[in-house]
């Protein structure tokens, strides 16, 4: 995803001389091309994320489209006051980019795990929250965010993510992308768990369960229509994210379902517990430790679906 983002950013900067990049003294392996090609539009603010964000807000209020870039929690939590007061309060045209969402920096410990970011950024007024599921979505999201006038947060994976989309996508902020159709149950996922969700749906299909699969790349604003359609047309809804089960995608979907007039539907969130991850290892290892492997998820979802004995969509009216 990181490479796809920078390809899109370079393309944007070639066509628009108002596009700027401000970084927090890291990522030179991927930012170097931008810095060399557009030296007057690149700034290393140093290990000072509060300053990075304040500078970006000031530039944006002067008419620039400014991307800030750092890893995991550093461009958001370390400078949350500046994000809230400088960027959001003024609806500044700042695009905050965090690489390494979820447990991508697993071996570096909890300080580098971005597992509460969606919940925190989703709560900020004016902020659009985007977590693309693969490189195709990441590139499209970068262009969409640049066209949007206002604060945005882009949560990327680290590197090496596989492409989940086999054909060109129609990407729109706030509108989910359906990868598979199904009338038994719905899996809604966001961010880097998209590939896992595809594998889960394939395993369920082998068991005779047809799962609708939605990539909810925009967590705020949420695609309420897609959520309610899933609740109405399938018998169970499951959310899947590499994020705390509190306040992220699962929380957003739960809010919609709880306040809707649709008949009740079986619902379960799959994600990380509200706890610091004390284990150390690769992202794949840490996902498995929390039951987020494709094998474990398919087994659990299949068992839940069977135990709830859901009524058919027709029976539920």
In tens, the pLDDT along 3-52 reads 999 999 999 999 999 999 999 988 778 889 999 999 999 999 999 999 99
Position 317 confidence tier, pLDDT thresholds 50, 70, 90: very low
CATH code of the domain made up of 177-308: 3.40.50.920
Opening angle at CA 276, ends 247 and 110, nearest 5: 105
Which tokens sit at 253?
Answer: 């979907």
**Contact, 115 vs 283, CB < 8 A?**
no
Which tokens sit at 226?
Answer: 């897609």
Per-residue pLDDT at 253: 98
Position 128 confidence tier, pLDDT thresholds 50, 70, 90: very high
**Contact, 178 vs 212, CB < 8 A?**
yes
- For CATH 3.40.50.970, list the domain ranges present in the chain: 2-156
Mean pLDDT to the nearest integer, 248-276: 93
User: Tokens 């931008």 — which residue?
Assistant: 34
Position 309 confidence tier, pLDDT thresholds 50, 70, 90: low
Tell if the pTM clears 0.85, that is, is over it. yes
The helix/strand/coil state of 172 is strand
Q: Is the pLDDT of residue 313 over 70?
A: no
CATH code of the domain made up of 2-156: 3.40.50.970
Query: What is the pairing mode between strands 128-130 and 152-156?
Result: parallel
B/e letters for 32-43, b = 16+ CB within 10 Å, e = fewer, are: eebeeebeebbb
- For CATH 3.40.50.920, list the domain ranges present in the chain: 177-308
Q: Which residue has the higher pLDDT, 156 or 109?
A: 156
- Reference 248, options 188, 177, 164; nearest CA is 188
Q: In residues, how long is the chain?
A: 317
Per-residue pLDDT at 104: 86
Position 315 confidence tier, pLDDT thresholds 50, 70, 90: very low
Opening angle at CA 244, ends 130 and 155, nearest 5: 25
The helix/strand/coil state of 20 is strand
Per-residue pLDDT at 160: 77
């Amino acid at each position: 995803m990181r490479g796809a983002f920078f390809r899109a950013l370079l393309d944007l900067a070639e066509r628009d001389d108002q596009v700027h990049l401000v970084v927090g003294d890291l990522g030179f392996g991927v930012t170097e091309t931008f810095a060399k090609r557009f030296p007057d539009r690149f700034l290393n603010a140093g290990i000072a994320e509060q300053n990075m964000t304040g500078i970006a807000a000031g530039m944006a209020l002067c008419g620039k489209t400014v991307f800030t870039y750092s890893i995991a929690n550093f461009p958001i939590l370390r400078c949350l006051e500046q994000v809230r007061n400088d960027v959001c309060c003024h609806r500044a045209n700042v695009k905050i980019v965090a690489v390494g969402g979820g447990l991508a920096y697993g071996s570096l410990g909890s300080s580098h795990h971005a597992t509460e970011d969606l919940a925190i950024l989703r709560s900020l007024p004016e902020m659009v929250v985007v977590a693309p599921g693969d490189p195709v979505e990441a590139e499209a999201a970068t262009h969409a965010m640049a066209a949007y006038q206002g604060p945005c947060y882009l949560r990327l994976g680290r590197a090496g993510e596989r492409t989940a989309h086999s054909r060109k996508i129609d990407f729109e902020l706030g509108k989910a992308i359906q990868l598979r159709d199904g009338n038994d149950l719905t899996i809604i996922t966001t961010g880097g768990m998209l590939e896992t969700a595809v594998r889960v749906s394939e395993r369920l299909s082998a068991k005779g369960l047809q799962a609708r699969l939605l990539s909810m790349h925009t967590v705020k604003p949420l695609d309420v229509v897609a959520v309610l359609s899933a609740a109405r047309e399938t018998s169970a809804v499951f959310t899947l994210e590499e994020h705390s089960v509190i306040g992220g995608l699962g929380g957003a979907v739960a809010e919609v379902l709880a306040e809707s007039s649709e008949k009740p539907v079986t619902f379960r969130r799959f994600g990380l517990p509200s706890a610091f991850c004390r284990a150390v290892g690769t992202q794949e290892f840490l996902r498995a430790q929390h039951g987020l492997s494709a094998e474990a998820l398919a087994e659990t979802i299949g068992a839940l679906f069977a135990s709830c004995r859901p009524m058919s969509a027709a029976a539920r009216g």
